Amino acid sequence: GTSWQDLKDHFRQAGNVVHTSILKDGRRSKGCGIVEFETAADAKNAMETLNETELDGRAILIREDREDKEMKRQGSAPRGRANGKGPEGTQLVIHGLPWEFTWQNLKDMLTDEGVEVLRADIVQDRKGRSKGFGTVSVASKEDAEKAIAELDGAELEGRPLSVKFDKYA
């Protein structure tokens, strides 16, 4: 079946995807998913350019989801309507990442430290190449402090990591 990563990869051509999920009925996919874009313009572009395109051999139908009801029922983290961030003091920016790092690598690195990650993104240039840093939304202020304590100043592939609260969040 289609994974959330397949969904993210397909929709990335329309804009910056910040979150995807496949809706499930127990373990089985319901054959639908949710894609959250960074901007309303990106979401509109996806609806205009990707509706009725094919993903894994099936035509996909796209409609705007004005409410995140499904997401909340799925036990996903509560999100502020305006910006999709966790509670205050839970957004981090991490510099010094290897160039080939994906958001999944970033999420895994923090999860390995016992930090509950809600969302991880690698900041990219216009051509889709990593700028060597990313942002992470974690479940709690304690998770944020743990990530900073464990990883700020640590070396990764010969480069020092900088893990700080995201002052722009």
Whether 168 has a pLDDT exceeding 90, the answer reads: no
pLDDT tens digit sequence for 113-131: 999 999 999 998 888 889 9
> Distance between CA atoms of 9 and 37, rounded to whole angstroms?
12
Rounded Cα–Cα distance for residues 163 and 118 (Å): 16
Question: Rounded to an integer, what distance in angstroms lies between the CA atom of residue 30 and that of residue 100?
Answer: 33
Taking alpha carbons only, the member of 126, 139, 138 closest to residue 163 is 138
CB atoms within 10 A of CB 119: 19
Region of 57 on the Ramachandran plot (φ > 0 left; ψ -120 to 50 alpha; else beta):
left
Q: Using alpha carbons only, give the angle 141, 146, 148 rounded to the nearest 5 degrees.
A: 95
Count of alpha carbons within 13 angstroms of residue 8, beta-carbon side: 16
- pLDDT tens digit sequence for 32-62: 888 888 888 888 889 889 888 888 888 888 8
pLDDT, tens digit (0-9, with 9 covering 90-100), for 48-105: 898 888 888 888 888 877 654 434 434 434 333 334 455 678 899 999 999 999 999 9
Mean pLDDT of 138-164: 93
pLDDT class for 162, splitting at 50, 70, 90?
very high
Instruction: Give the contacts of 80 (CB within 8 A, at least 6 positions apart).
Output: none
Beta bridge partners of 35: 20
CA 67 to chain centre: 18
The answer to whether the CB of 162 falls within 8 A of the CB of 152 is yes
